[in-house]
Amino acid sequence: MIALIDYGIGNLRSVQKALEHVGATVTLTEDADTILAADKVVLPGVGAFGDGMKGLRARGLDGVVREVVRRGAPLLGICVGMQVLFEASDELGLHVGLGLLPGRVVRFAPRQLKVPHTGWNEIATRQSSNLFRDLPAGSFAYFNHSYYCAAAPELTLAATDYGGPFASVVGRGRLYGIQFHPEKSQAVGLTLLRNFVEQG
């Protein structure tokens, strides 16, 4: 069973449908015991970093997510769900994250770029990962974000170029984060979700 964490932030149903499409049994929940009993956990999210952390703390789920990772259960953060895994964000003021991964979430420098970064872009693998099984080189995924995770190279499983490279997939142990939206990324996104669902 996969626990899909409901912490008051949007896009839950489309992620749930995508996971079910690749064969997962999904429980949408904010119950701590259900999350801790799950085989795997997904932390989705759209919107602002601060709102995401506020939603987690209000439900007492910040500590639950940390406990999931401490126990070694696979956890996948999506978009804002990836960003809150890091130490802090500069979005709309300084906000403290879960601190499960070192690094900070920062805004794209406008320069000649349109912000937010919206649309299809390439994900270039930097390290081997079970998440990328059967994923063709040069695959494209769908992004929609104004802030990105300034992650260390050893955490960066894949990078994407938007005015310079940024980490679009991160991982350490059984903890993963993806900046793009797999539920909107057609076959590429479904392949990645299937690989997460099927891994041991």
In the set 95, 117, 145, 181, the catalytic residue is 181
183 catalytic per annotation: yes
In the set 117, 145, 149, 183, the catalytic residue is 183
- Going through 87-186 in order, the beta strands assigned E by DSSP cover 88-89, 95-96, 104-107, 117-122, 124-125, 140-145, 147-150, 156-161, 165-172, 175-178
CA pair distance 108, 174, nearest whole angstrom: 28
**Amino acid identity, residue 37?**
A
In the set 30, 79, 95, 149, the catalytic residue is 79
21 catalytic per annotation: no
* In contact, 15 and 9? CB cutoff 8 Å: no
User: Would you call the peptide bond into 116 cis, given omega within 30 degrees of 0 as the criterion?
Assistant: yes
149 catalytic per annotation: no
Q: Among all residues, which ones are annotated catalytic?
A: 79, 181, 183
